[in-house]
Amino acid sequence: MTVTPFTPIASLLGGALIGLSAVLLMWATGRIAGVSGIAARLFPPYEDGEFAGRLAFVAGLVAAPVLVRLATGGLPEQTIAAGTPVLIVGGLLTGFGSVWGSGCTSGHGVCGLSRLSVRSLVATVTFMAAGMATVFVMRHWS
C-alpha cells in the first residue's frame, strides 16, 4: 500500500468546491448532482431529454485534470494499485450497486445527507461500512 499524507485543508476546500457544484446544478437544472445517476442515464433507455446536459457534466468531470495540467504543468499524484481483474470486478460492482441503490457518494453522501434524507443516511452508512469491510479483508486477511 501507498501511505498518503493527511490533507485536512485541501480536502475541506475541495469538498466545498464539490458542494458548490451540487448547489449550482440544482440552481441551473433543478437536479441532484449524483454522478452515478447522471452517468447511468448516458445509456438507454432514455426517459427524458436531458442527455446533452448530462454528457456535458461528465465531460466537465473528465476535462478537470486536463485543465489542471494546462494551468499548472502537472497533476497531483494518482496511485492505482488495483490490477486488471480487480478493476473489472470493482467497476462492475460499483456501477451495478450505485444504480441499484439509486445513488453513490455524491447523490446519497453529499446531496442526500444535505437534504437530511434518512434513505441517503442508510445508503451512506451502508456503503461506507461495506467499503471499510472490503479494504479490511483485502489488506489484513491475506
Partner 1 sequence: MAILVQFAIGLIFGLGLIVSGMSNPAKVLNFLDVGGIPAGTWDASLAFVMAGAIAVTFFGFNRVLRLARPFFSARFYVPTRTDIDPRVVVGPAIFGIGWGMAGFCPGPALTALGFGSPSAVIFVAAMFAGMVLARFVSHLPPLTRFVTPADPLET
Residues of this chain, 104-133, that bind partner 1 according to CB under 8 A: 104-106, 108-115, 117-119, 122-124, 126-133
| CA distance readout (Å), 56 to 52, 63, 127 | 6, 10, 28
| CA distance readout (Å), 45 to 41, 48, 49, 60 | 8, 9, 11, 23
Q: Is 60 in the site for partner 1 (CB under 8 A)?
A: yes
In the complex, the smallest distance separating the C-beta of residue 56 from partner 1, rounded to whole angstroms, is 4
Q: Is 140 in the site for partner 1 (CB under 8 A)?
A: yes
Cell 479494504 locates to 135
In the complex, the smallest distance separating the C-beta of residue 73 from partner 1, rounded to whole angstroms, is 14
Q: CA-CA distance, 128 to 82, in Å (whole number)?
A: 19
In the complex, the smallest distance separating the C-beta of residue 2 from partner 1, rounded to whole angstroms, is 4
With CB under 8 A as the contact rule, the residue among 2, 70, 73, 142 that binds partner 1 is 2
Q: Please give the size of the binding site for partner 1, defined by CB under 8 A.
A: 113
- The CB density around residue 108, as the number of other CB atoms within 10 Å, is 26
Q: Is 52 in the site for partner 1 (CB under 8 A)?
A: yes
Q: Is 100 in the site for partner 1 (CB under 8 A)?
A: yes
| Alpha helix segments (H runs only) across the chain | 8-29, 35-40, 51-72, 84-100, 113-114, 118-140
Residues of this chain, 21-50, that bind partner 1 according to CB under 8 A: 21-33, 35-36, 39-40, 42-43, 45
With CB under 8 A as the contact rule, the residue among 73, 74, 78, 142 that binds partner 1 is 78
Contact status, residue 31 vs residue 110, Cβ threshold 8 Å = no
